[in-house]
């Protein structure tokens, strides 16, 4: 276990990994109170992280800890020059930070200046370090080396020790790391160790924080190895499930006007899970959709399958992931009006880039106009929800109109029309017969057709609308057209993958006309009010709920079909 941790720590980058993700959690768990973490664009005066307190089992007195953090190993060439230069930052701590940055309440505390790195201080730099620390050590100021070996020891002792990280989650974590090249296996083992740590009610607030920190460190390690192995599919999937499990673990906290210290710690950890997800998704899209979305058929060919079903499934999966990322970045943009203008600008640019990429992906891959699974309504609804948030519906209405035509035309020609069958073997054979009995089985229910028909009043003329309903009536007259709403049990079940909950509204058939459809939906929205009690919705984190719907293949409720309804 320690070898795995040391290799993981050595692979971390200074900015965003070691200093913002791993070390703050570790310091909090070993007994220190973190005073500040680094911010991009601000002067640090040599100190990446400042903390105060006593390290459990080591310190007898309180110290002010000042950390100068570097990535990987530190060699002699890193001592005085280069991006990793150590001495200039140590000098800055001594000449600037100690003179002007220490708060009055900590002025009398003894100080430990720690050179921290994920790797080790190489032999060629040891004499420089020894000479420097010998020269500047005083009664009040001392120096320590926190290398990968020490960090791994602290993790084993305070975060991932045998008595804290029990046998089963530790075994599943190690298997997840070993299987980073196999996305499905890596996902299942990651889900298992997150479940081991976070599914049960914690014994205390302290225990809750410990398990969340353990989960984050383990998840971060799995993602770091997946990225290092260039398996971005694994990195994306486990980052998403980690975010959902984290929310499930903290959603029952009391939402008080004045948050307690514990509440702040929980929100800090949630923020780290969210950042990890956004980082993993950014890397994933940089190598896929952002890079090749505008090249005709490039992403479809990259699926590397002769089966059109594989291409269709993969492209809709990609489209849904893009839409969810855009919804998240748009939420942060709207929810942080007082944030740094440069940061807000980057969020707006990220959302616009996602929208542009989605348009390019749709135009370059015609399979996206012919969904083969009925539950591809989820991806379509997420795209349209994002388009409404950004007032760019006009960019996607032609695509939605094409879907309305192609899906019903496929019914007429008996050629891979949308089906509610979900097993891969069934999809490969679909349609295996043109008999009405098979049609009735393959289209026994639909969430796609009511959604598409709902939008036709905004994108189609009377002729197109009539043709759409006539084809449905002719080919699948017995199909139960439906919509889904969460119920009172949904908030307890949805975050960890339980799907047997919610309310199904069945009287939404296109045959009844637009007015009847809208009337039924509005009445259902008024009646099925449990969605307002969903923890993420109450907290203003609607993207969290939509992420869970997409991840676990639950329909998008009509509350999010059209924002003006």
Please name the helix (run of DSSP H) or strand (run of DSSP E) that holds residue 227, with its range, or none.
helix 205-228
pLDDT the model gives residue 3: 67
Residue with tokens 């900015």: 15
State the Cα–Cα distance between residues 361 and 350, nearest whole angstrom: 16
Which are the contacts of 504, defined by CB distance < 8 A and separation ≥ 6?
Answer: 482, 483, 484
pLDDT the model gives residue 472: 96
What is the SS3 assignment for 40? coil
Which are the contacts of 224, defined by CB distance < 8 A and separation ≥ 6?
Answer: 8, 11, 12, 17
Using DSSP bridges, classify how beta strands 49-53 and 445-446 pair: parallel, antiparallel or unpaired.
unpaired
Q: Which fold has domain 1-159?
A: Restriction Endonuclease (3.40.91)
Using DSSP bridges, classify how beta strands 111-117 and 49-53 pair: parallel, antiparallel or unpaired.
unpaired
Closest CA to 197 of 162, 155, 169: 169
Q: Is 414 exposed, middle or buried (0-12, 13-18, 19+ CB in 10 A)?
A: middle
Per-residue model confidence as pLDDT tens for the chain (565 residues): 566 667 767 766 554 567 666 788 788 888 899 888 766 545 578 888 999 999 988 888 999 999 998 888 888 888 888 777 899 999 999 999 998 888 889 999 999 999 998 888 888 889 999 999 999 999 999 999 998 888 888 887 766 654 446 778 888 988 998 898 999 999 999 999 999 989 888 878 878 887 888 888 889 889 988 988 899 999 999 999 999 999 999 998 766 667 787 888 888 889 889 989 999 999 999 999 999 999 999 999 999 999 999 999 999 999 999 999 999 999 887 776 666 677 788 888 999 999 999 999 999 999 999 999 999 999 999 999 999 999 999 999 999 999 999 999 999 999 999 999 999 999 999 999 999 999 999 999 999 999 999 999 899 999 999 999 999 999 999 999 999 999 999 999 999 999 999 999 998 999 999 999 999 999 999 999 999 999 999 999 999 999 999 999 999 999 999 875 4
User: For residue 256, which phi and psi values (nearest 5 degrees)?
Assistant: -95, 160
Closest CA to 317 of 306, 325, 329: 325
pLDDT the model gives residue 41: 46
């Amino acid at each position: 276990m320690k070898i795995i941790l040391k290799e993981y720590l050595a692979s971390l980058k200074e900015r965003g990994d070691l200093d913002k993700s791993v070390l703050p959690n570790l310091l909090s768990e070993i007994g220190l109170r973190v005073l500040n973490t680094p911010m991009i664009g601000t002067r640090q005066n040599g100190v990446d992280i400042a903390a105060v307190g006593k390290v459990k089992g080591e310190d007898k007195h309180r110290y002010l800890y000042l950390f100068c953090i570097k990535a990987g190993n530190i060699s002699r060439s890193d001592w005085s020059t280069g991006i990793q230069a150590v001495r200039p930052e140590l000098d800055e701590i001594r000449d600037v930070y100690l003179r002007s940055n220490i708060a009055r309440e900590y002025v009398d505390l003894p100080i430990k200046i720690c050179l921290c790195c994920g790797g080790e201080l190489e032999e060629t730099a040891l004499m420089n370090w020894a000479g420097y620390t010998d020269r500047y050590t005083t009664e009040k100021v001392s120096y320590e080396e926190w290398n990968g070996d020490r960090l791994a020891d602290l993790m084993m002792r305070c975060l991932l020790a045998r008595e804290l990280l029990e046998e089963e989650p530790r075994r599943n974590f190690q298997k997840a790391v070993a299987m980073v090249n196999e996305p499905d296996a890596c996902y299942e083992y990651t889900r298992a160790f997150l479940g081991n740590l976070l599914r049960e009610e914690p014994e205390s607030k302290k225990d809750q924080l410990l398990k969340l920190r353990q989960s984050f460190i383990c998840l971060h390690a799995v993602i770091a190895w997946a990225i290092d192995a260039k398996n971005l599919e694994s990195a994306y999937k486990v980052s998403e499930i980690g975010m959902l499990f984290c929310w499930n673990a903290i959603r029952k906290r009391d939402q008080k006007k004045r948050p307690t210290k514990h509440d702040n710690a929980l929100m800090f950890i949630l923020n780290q899970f969210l950042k990890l997800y956004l980082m993993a998704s950014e890397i994933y899209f940089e190598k896929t959709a952002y890079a090749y979305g505008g090249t005709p058929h490039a992403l479809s060919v990259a699926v590397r399958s002769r089966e059109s079903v594989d291409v269709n499934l993969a492209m809709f999966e990609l489209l849904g992931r893009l839409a969810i990322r855009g919804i998240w970045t748009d939420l942060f943009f709207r929810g942080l009006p007082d944030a740094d203008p440069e940061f807000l600008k980057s969020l707006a640019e990220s959302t616009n880039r996602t929208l542009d990429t989605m348009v390019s992906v749709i135009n370059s891959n015609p399979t996206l106009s012919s969904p083969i699974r009925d539950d591809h309504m989820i991806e379509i609804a997420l795209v349209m929800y994002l388009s409404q948030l950004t007032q760019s519906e006009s960019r996607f209405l032609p695509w939605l109109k094409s879907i309305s035509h192609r899906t019903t035309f496929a019914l007429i020609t008996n050629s891979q029309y949308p089906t509610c069958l979900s097993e891969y073997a069934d999809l490969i054979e679909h349609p295996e017969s043109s008999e009405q009995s098979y049609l009735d089985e393959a289209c026994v229910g639909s969430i796609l057709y009511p959604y598409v028909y709902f939008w036709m009043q905004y994108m189609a003329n009377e002729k197109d609308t009539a043709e759409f309903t006539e084809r449905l009536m002719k080919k699948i007259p017995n199909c139960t057209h439906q919509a889904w709403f969460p119920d009172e049990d949904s908030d307890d079940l949805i975050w960890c993958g339980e799907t047997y909950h919610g309310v199904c509204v069945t009287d939404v058939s296109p045959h009844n006309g637009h007015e009847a459809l809208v009337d039924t939906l509005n009445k259902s929205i008024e009646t099925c009010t449990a969605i307002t009690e969903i923890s993420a919705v109450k907290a203003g984190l609607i993207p969290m709920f939509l992420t869970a719907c997409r991840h676990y293949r639950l329909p998008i409720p009509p509350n999010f079909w059209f924002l003006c309804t």
